[in-house]
Structure 1
């Protein structure tokens, strides 16, 4: 008999009722050190008092009015994003998947606006994850994502991850856009080299194609910069943002240049809840904190501490781990055992982690995790690894 909640998840047998910073407290009172952050969402931890205060204040005023009207909270957050990024304009969504869908629509509308409606092909990369809408799964193209959901939306071509020669061979004046994650999250914490990201931008410029960056998981300070592409010294034409931007409240956004958004006039897109006062009030506070003086420097300091300790963990358990990968506090342990087994063993040690492809265990702690919690996290991971030594 089917459960009342559609059984599309393999859920762990744990329920949480509250949280405090980097800790999630289960219904039985057990405390778990959370290195998943709701999959890179809770960038300021659980029950952050500043976010609680701003959400509570806004909840006492007005929750929802729809985009038929001007929304001051939305305009304030858009101003902050434009001031701190490449973008000229912002559309607010509820999720990364919706952001991906709009990025695809915006690309096609741009070329239609330019008088080339047949220029629809978007180049993507193996291992990518852009969401679970029909457009997003067509963009990723992996068998596990698309099997049983055909026919797929046409107009996407997947290339081998990291293969710049393949990209050079595929890109042309018929290419509408290149869509890429600066660091693949679901794909196994795989960063694209800064030099390659720079070359991707240059190749797009040569043929006039748009560059779409998916920073849903790697954005909002996760890598030690506000957005990961900043390390390469380039800017996109369109960027998808979500997860961390709401600090746990459902919020996403598409950031774009004026050129890329040229076709998106009134009536071309919409969202009932996107950019509502509650979400944008919280998102504004997240943005203010993450972009404040010294915050990202502290993220980088903690990231260096965490990585150093993780390198020691890898050296201590050569039968379990191959190495550390990633940037900032978007880190992965490349494993020699199944990452799902490591996640399950972590439950016994009261630590929460996230499995990814390419045999990688994801570590995505809150950006304000304390030094003491970093030390405790590595101690618990050490006990997890001990279960697999000699395997």
Structure 2
């Protein structure tokens, strides 16, 4: 009997080694990894540059209190701010923590309690972020949620009428990852931006899954009309090392002052080493252009080779792609594992493809071939 609380529906696979786009399990079977820890290992597994720097840091210092100066934090914060329109950063350990911090910041900043988020969104599993999340399944059994959050319909113009002078912030993902790879429509986002500006409402964009190059730009919002007051990032920021961040405006620096927020492990030397190496690898014109090109190539190949009778639609941006099937995908995920490929679902009928941003064309072709073969084996109910 396991001593672990059963909070995860685990697959019967233990991964013990990984390099680039491939991982190996305890039985020696190798898989093409198109999960990457669910959009975490954006540089692939054990990128040599990240690994080299972490090895060096392991021989120097693992942890120090945030009561001391940190040039590493300063350098990573500068990388994040110079690659956005924002100016200040707070470091934590995960996306949920980044979102919790953003929630506190919005409450203190606006002195308002109404925050609007959207159906099918996902913002984390801490108590406040369950309230922010627009999916009932994550809330079942926990009683009354934090009352601040009201959920609107994603991509629905009429829902935007709910934005008023009583609203503190609108909180959204521009591509809903857990919700099924649902892209926000730019015309709708233009209307959202206009409405928030009219009432002085803050915009918080959850870039935990979409950020750090995943969609072919530094942040996904850059491909939209939005100009957020707060961005939250995590997952892809550390190449697999736990790190999250809030990125925000100069005004926020007058709100989050000493004693208002903190994180014991946030911004620790190992996390900052991984983040700095990751950002320097990804936030280049060449890498981002390559992600766009690879994403377009993968979408084209999927549309050409996957059977139309099984696929409802293929959608996404960059290397964040969802394949919506006409049937539940649980058996497809398992069949792909048997065929030596790892993917993750996004709702009952969508599989997500989240490869390394440095994936090769050969690996993309291999992925398409494996999905094609599994589709040929599946029978539509």
1:24 is paired with a residue of what secondary structure? strand
Q: CA deviation at 1:318?
A: 2.5
1:261 and 1:144 map into 2 onto residues whose CA distance is 36
Q: Specify the alignment match of 1:143 in structure 2.
A: 136
Q: CA deviation at 1:232?
A: 1.4
1:180-195 aligned at under 5 Å gives the runs 180-195=172-187
- Identify the residue that residue 102 of structure 2 maps to in structure 1: 103
1:319 alignment partner in structure 2 = 309
1:67 deviates by 0.6
Secondary structure class of the residue paired with 2:300: helix
TM-score normalised by the chain length of structure 1: 0.95
Q: Which runs of at least 4 in structure 1 moved beyond 6 Å after TM superposition?
A: none
Q: Please give the alpha-carbon distance, in whole angstroms, between the structure 2 residues aligned to 1:194 and 1:390.
A: 34
Cα deviation for residue 235 of structure 1 reads 1.7
Asked if the contact 1:313–1:378 (Cα under 8 Å) also holds between the matched residues in 2, the reply is: yes
User: Does structure 1 conserve the Cα–Cα contact (< 8 Å) formed by 2:131 and 2:145?
Assistant: yes
**TM-score, structure 2 as length reference:** 0.98
Match of 1:114 in 2: none
Name the counterpart of 1:356. 346
* Shift of residue 199, structure 1, vs aligned partner: 2.2
Using the TM superposition, give the Cα deviation of residue 389 of structure 1 relative to its aligned residue in structure 2, in angstroms.
Answer: 4.1
| Alignment pair present for 1:210 and 2:202 | yes
Q: CA deviation at 1:262?
A: 3.1
In 1, distance between residues paired with 2:192 and 2:276?
31
1:285 to 263, 277, 290: 277
Tell me which residue corresponds to 2:369. Answer: 379
* CA distance, structure 1, for counterparts of residue 216 and residue 181 of structure 2: 15
Counterpart in the other structure of 1:368: 358
The whole-number CA distance in structure 1 between the counterparts of 2:251 and 2:349 is 40
Aligned-pair distance for 1:358?
5.9
Check conservation: 1:94, 1:252, Cα contact below 8 A.
Answer: yes
In the TM superposition, residue 141 of structure 1 has moved relative to its aligned partner by 4.1
- Judge conservation of contact 1:77–1:283 (CA < 8 Å) in 2: yes
Map 1:134-283 → 2, pairs under 5 A: 134-167=127-160, 169-283=161-275
- Count of aligned positions: 381
Q: Deviations over 1:154-207 (max 9, x none)?
A: 11100112112111x211000000000010000000010122223222211110
Q: Which runs of 5+ in 1 are unaligned?
A: 112-116
Contact 1:120/1:155 (8 A) holds in 2: yes
User: Does structure 2 retain, via aligned residues, the 8 Å contact 1:90–1:255?
Assistant: yes
